[in-house]
Structure 1
């Protein structure tokens, strides 16, 4: 049995709306036709995906599992279509994923010297999709921040950079040249992943807020809801008047790596992968602690 991507797309639309009528309107098809497609998908999989009763529509356990798996699968199908479309037009294109604060330009320039006919596109990723976008083909090569699940990846660490604490400018520690982690005792932590991904094992009180990316973390910090930690290059990327970034002596550095899918060989991806390794020092310098200190000095009028 081959999984029908059209039926899968219909399923995701219904699962997001949890309403067959609204899903049918969004898909521009009749509701009875949509119901038939979902029943056919359930027959294909041999499992009910929705419970339909007078109270509405809810996902079954099988439906929740399919929803978890459907997003990457559909994204991979779109990536295949993109690559085929580019090839049909006679062009060559490489998509590079990057995290906030990690410059792509040094590696792109080195790669472009060997492949001047290839267009390098970029796509920003966050902690929760940085590996998946590489695995499902949305990006060909990705700059990632560790830790990351390395299953299915070819991954090489490139460099490390200091971690800083992000504080609202009204905080008593804001503007300090450097602090100790003990100075942050009792602060509420805003983080983007589970405890195993935190740069410290100290028991910070949980703020109850879980942010998707750096933007969201800093919005909560600026509002006084807690503190967070960012890499030094991220602090340059997100320089803002309501946030103060302060080095913390005891924190282990953030590690940046480059990744590509181990199961999808590509000469272009291999060459960009090599270019990223060759230019790691230049890339690291763009977000170095020295540059952060210079930017802080200029901002303070020094």
Structure 2
């Protein structure tokens, strides 16, 4: 963990398709004095940035090296196939990998899926990036299987996409070097996990009334209970005991 001289900026890498906006907004609300710098990088670049210390944490695609990184899986995306709007696949609600068997399926070098065998027929050559592959789909050269967030990121008016029900899926996680779990990393983990500002886990730079109440309650629990002289239950006062002994049956009126 960092000490009093820790950095006053937090660097968050994120891969294409990941959307950190909500968490960034909460960060600015809770830690307005700590600058948050966003680094949009490719999958390989994001992992390299975390390894060499040029990013503190990152929204990356699984899997990652768990001997070096700690990771919190956040969500798993729907897999879709991107096709021209006049393609036959555009007429159905969803497809399977078998439906792509006769299609030229583009396989860019930054493909996020770990295919044992990519579906469909291979293209003449592999595009360098997913964005390049989208341009080739628009040119009618083939179709492309990607996580839905990438289909939205590179959206074009002349293209559409449909879910592929049996394709591999891509999961996004918050990852950071395990040996560099700083206070600011803990702060961001708390935000991602939905902890409140006064949560007992993670830091709170502006303790509020909830903290004061919690401390008072904890101190109250520490106070020992006062037993009676005999160490047991307290006896009722003698006067009340005597008064209760005199009570008998009510007198009959003559």
TM-score category, normalised to shorter length: 0.5 to 0.7
* Structure 2 residue corresponding to 1:169, chosen from 60, 66, 85: 85
* Residue range with higher mean Cα deviation, 249-258 or 168-177: 168-177
TM-score, normalization by structure 2: 0.65
- Equivalent residues in 2 for 1:1-302, closer than 5 Å: 92-193=8-109, 197-198=113-114, 201=117, 203-278=119-194
Deviations 1:80-125 (A, max 9, x none): xxxxxxx9xx982212111222211222223333312112121112
Please state how far the C-alpha of 1:199 moved relative to its aligned partner: 5.4
Deviations 1:131-183 (A, max 9, x none): 11211122211101223444421112111121101112342212532122211
- Which residue does the alignment assign to 1:9? none
Within 1, Cα distance between the matches of 2:173 and 2:27?
17
Deviations 1:224-250 (A, max 9, x none): 222222222222222211221111121
- Which residue does the alignment assign to 1:28? none
Q: Cα 1:196–1:145, aligned 2, differ >3 Å: closer, same or farther?
A: closer
Please state how far the C-alpha of 1:194 moved relative to its aligned partner: 8.4
What's the secondary structure of 1:197's corresponding residue? coil
2:110–2:129 Cα contact (<8 Å) kept:
no
What's the secondary structure of 1:218's corresponding residue? helix
Within 2, Cα distance between the matches of 1:161 and 1:152?
25
Within 2, Cα distance between the matches of 1:145 and 1:175?
31
Bigger relative contact order (CA 8 A; separation at least 6): 2
Please state how far the C-alpha of 1:208 moved relative to its aligned partner: 4.2
- Which residue does the alignment assign to 2:240? none
What's the secondary structure of 1:177's corresponding residue? coil
5+ residue gaps, structure 2: 196-254
Please state how far the C-alpha of 1:211 moved relative to its aligned partner: 3.8
How many residues are aligned here?
Answer: 191
Q: Cα 1:247–1:258, aligned 2, differ >3 Å: closer, same or farther?
A: same
What's the secondary structure of 1:135's corresponding residue? helix
TM-score, normalization by structure 1: 0.56
What's the secondary structure of 1:216's corresponding residue? helix
* Residue range with higher mean Cα deviation, 237-246 or 156-165: 237-246
2:79–2:170 Cα contact (<8 Å) kept:
yes
What's the secondary structure of 1:120's corresponding residue? strand
More helix by share: 1
